[in-house]
Chain A
Amino acid sequence: MQPDKAIKTEAMQIDKAPSMGFADRLRVMRESQFGAFVPVLLALVAIWLYFGITEPVFLSPRNFYNLFMQSAVVGTIAVGITVVLLLGDIDLSAAATAGVAAALMAVLVTNVGLWGPVACIIAIFVGIIMGTTQGLLIAYIGIPSFVVTLAGNLGFQGLMLKILGIHGAINMRDPFVRGITTVTFPPFVGWILAAVFVVGFMYVSLRRQARRRASGLELDSSASLYGGIIFFSLLAFAAVWTLNSYRGVPLLVVLLIGMTALLSWVTTSTPFGRMLFAVGGNPESARRVGISVQRMRVAAFGLVGMMAAIGGIVGASRYASVSFNAFAGGPLLLEAIGAAVIGGTSLFGGRGSVWNAILGALVIGSLGNGLDLSGASAADKLMFSGAILLLAVAIDALSRSKEGASR
């Protein structure tokens, strides 16, 4: 399959089956480094093409700008939810947590008169505490995460209403908070960011390959190495070009990519992430090698609490107000879980990636945006979103049963 593989040690003979079925190919592809991107990326491209043809305005830079901004709240929370999904748990309280954090931040800024950044930090801290508390209940009392977070969802919704007071909504005019979603970079800064990204990506990929070669290890195929570099370079410059043709690269997009990159690194390249995947894949074997399953649970729910709080702040900034319906009462929770699952993160634990949650959020955002543009009714939108979610979970379940059968 790859000429470079011949360098491997003698004991590693390649006896790959010559003919693989389509499902096997799909599974092998999904297991490769960037391969898990492919299905959701294809779905995204298909949606963009469809709406691009039926509603040409869909592909305008202005619409893309709005699409990215609209998807940011869902994406942020979906990234957090991905972390608990990796453990095989679920968090139904994420949207309510986001609502509490946003309400608290809004009250601290407008009623107490606290400086914006301080209010945000307090809100994020409270989000972490809320998540951690639920994690402690799940890990040490042994209540299923479904039940704890369902109770948490109700309780936090009430808490949010209490914080908001009788009016049920607080307007956000704080320049710092608003700035999170209104600041855009001048075009040249966007180009510099893209260039830095591309050079950084190339450096990391090529250095990794060089070190593998130096150690005599199995190499990534040149096609996937250079293909990956070219693909992500094109993607970065195309995105910057599109955003620059409207208002420039938004600060929010850079923040979101930065946070996701950090969480991606933590979940894939550190002992913490390895333990997370191990607990999600086989809790018993994780326990036997000395991993504290309980502590991993608490940490994961702390992380989802943090990401939900950040999502709440982004939402408050984006909508310029904090209202019950924008967070707890609306479809935010299901869209966030849907985004994580559409991104290919397994509901059964142990498989997934935080990057895919962003792509999943874009899929859901694009669907909503495109259907809005084509004048579809709320009924159509709901049914469409439901069908897409079902499709994503069906693909997950199918690829899982394939794995079980491939012994």
Chain B
Amino acid sequence: MADRADKAVGPSAPPTTPHLVCRGVKKRFGGVEALRGVDFEVRRGEVMALVGDNGAGKSTLMKAIAGAYLADDGEFFLDGEPVTITTPFDAADLGIQIVYQDLALCENLDVAANMYLGTEPVQEGWHFLPRILRPLDDLLMEKKALAAIDRLKVRTLQSVRGKVGGLSGGQRQAIAIARAVGADSTVVLLDEPTAALGVAQTEQVLDVVRTLRDAGHAIVYISHNMADVFDISDRITVLRHGGNVAIYETAETTTDEIVVAMTRGLDKGANNAA
């Protein structure tokens, strides 16, 4: 791993030290060992694809990083500092945000309301009322939502006042990403962001991911779609049977090599080969 860390990766030559590092992450569900001591890292300003066959442990690893699962064992480092992640709130405090495959948007609320759900700003004054009964600062929410969407260069969105129920899949994905980024995050975990999308919609989401990367976020990208992975990622981490296979520089590998690594692993002693 160390010999790869000193190479500049990606178009904007990001810092070479990893931003988030996980070492020896283990997770067991009853008799099933979902993660058998996985190492993982992602730098700022890069897209790290996380691939593997079904049951390889991608989602488990991601949820352990996001605090949705409590890892049985393993260490997490953020900018070299050891950190503990036990709940989603720990992860959010550390600037780690996850966008789940199902997006978790409320279709009956408008875009701005969805982006600030749970963290709505309230107007100044009104201190005699408990916080949840103070008037919402709608205008601030709309302004910040517009700014966040502008940053991601989502051009097809008509208005942040439209209900999410009326939007396309790509627009919803963009909003879910914008919501994750809006919360001062540095690490964004994307779980199959293009799985349900058509070609144009996929391109729109990939544009959003590129914009995020260029803004210096560390992005973890789970996907089954090799075309997307090669399109967007700077490096690729391959998992198999809950263990590491290898980390590849996207520019120096091929789809075939990745698929073989995913399905058969490397030669003997495949686990922890990287």
**Interface residues, chain A, CB within 8 Å of chain B?**
8-9, 11-16, 31, 211-212, 215, 217-218, 265-266, 269-272, 274-275, 277-278, 280-282, 284-286, 288-291, 350-351, 403-404, 406-407
List 15 interface pairs A-B (beta carbons < 8 Å), by A numbering.
A12-B157, A13-B156, A31-B163, A215-B139, A217-B142, A269-B135, A270-B135, A271-B136, A272-B132, A274-B109, A278-B113, A280-B108, A290-B89, A291-B118, A406-B165
Within 8 Å by CB of B158, from A14, A281, A291, lies A14
Shortest C-beta distance, A266 to chain B (Å), equals 7
| Contact residue among A269, A271, A407 (Cβ-Cβ distance under 8 Å from B169) | A407
Q: Which A residues lie within 8 Å of B120 (CB)?
A: 271, 274
Closest to B183 in A: A289
- Complex contact A270–B133 (CB within 8 A): yes
B63 within 8 A of A: no
Contact A11–B104 (Cβ < 8 Å): no
Smallest beta-carbon distance B159→chain A, Å: 6
Across the A-B interface, how many residue pairs have beta carbons closer than 8 Å? 116
**Which residues of chain A come closer than 8 Å to B161, judged between CB atoms?**
218
Tell me, in angstroms, the Cα distance from A275 to B136 when the chains sit together: 12
A161 → B minimal CB distance (Å): 37
Query: Complex: how many Å from CA A11 to CA B211?
Result: 15
B215 at interface (Cβ–Cβ under 8 A)? no
Across the A-B interface, give the 10 residue pairs with the lowest CB-CB distance, nearest first.
A289-B118, A285-B104, A281-B108, A350-B108, A281-B106, A272-B132, A282-B106, A271-B132, A403-B165, A271-B120
Contact with A along B140-169 (1 / 0, CB 8 A): 001100100110011111111111011111
Number of residues of chain B lying within 8 A (CB) of chain A: 46
Q: Would you call A278 and B133 a contact (CB within 8 A)?
A: no
| With A277-B109, A407-B168 as contacts: A11 and B158 at CB distance below 8 Å | no
Is there an interface contact between B113 and A215, defined as CB atoms closer than 8 Å? Answer: no
- Cβ-based interface call for B117 (8 A): yes
Cβ-closest chain B residue relative to A5: B159
Residues on A with beta carbons closer than 8 Å to the beta carbon of B224: none
B243 at the interface (CB under 8 A from A): no
Chain A residues positioned under 8 Å from B210 (CB to CB) = none
* A403 & B109 in contact (Cβ 8 Å cutoff): no
In the complex, how many angstroms separate the beta carbon of B83 from the nearest chain A beta carbon? 20
B106, B139, B154, B155, most chain A CB atoms within 10 A: B106
